[in-house]
Amino acid sequence: MGMCAQVAAFVVAGGTPGKRFALPNSRFYMSNPGIAPMYDNEGRPRTRIMQASEMKLEVEEVIREKKRMLEGFSRFTGRSVDSLREDFKRDFYLTADEALTYGLVDQTLASKRPDKLANKSDIKFGAFGGEEQRYGEQAFAASGGSPGSAGGEPATSS
């Protein structure tokens, strides 16, 4: 599982074509660049005190970033800048399969051996296979007892 948000989605899309992968439960958050608000010590938004010329420079920089982002996504996905501009009117989320269709990734990874997937009934806390479990140098019996109870005592390490 994982989420690629904002710049991370751009980095994934900008990977080597043919080698851009996503896990089946991945999510992609696509958003516009913006100016992050400032907050005071109590977490309340603060008014940004600046000259109009400073504000103009910041806004121009955000517009430049968005233009570069759209051009990059266009190169990575094969979509037109106009189509991307329409998509980016609002922030949006994509599943791994939607990211594949959108052109952000080339393949959704799945288990190499689906026949080896465990059934839910086979999954138990502490059932990791084998007769004993280890934590560092300490070995424990796999009976599932709590430490200090029968079956949960540390086994001697050989």
pLDDT tens digits for range 12-59 = 999 999 999 998 889 999 998 888 888 889 989 888 888 999 999 999
Within its chain, how far is the Cα of 73 from the centroid? 18
Question: Quick one: pLDDT band at residue 76, thresholds 50, 70, 90?
Answer: very high
Say how far apart CA 100 and CA 2 lie, in whole Å: 15
Can you give the pTM of this predicted structure? 0.65
Q: What is the pLDDT of residues 83-107, one digit of tens each?
A: 999 999 999 999 999 999 999 999 9
Domain range 2-108, CATH class: alpha beta
Please state the length of the chain: 158
Between 127 and 12, the higher pLDDT residue: 12
Domain residue ranges of the chain, discontinuous segments joined by +: 2-108, 117-155
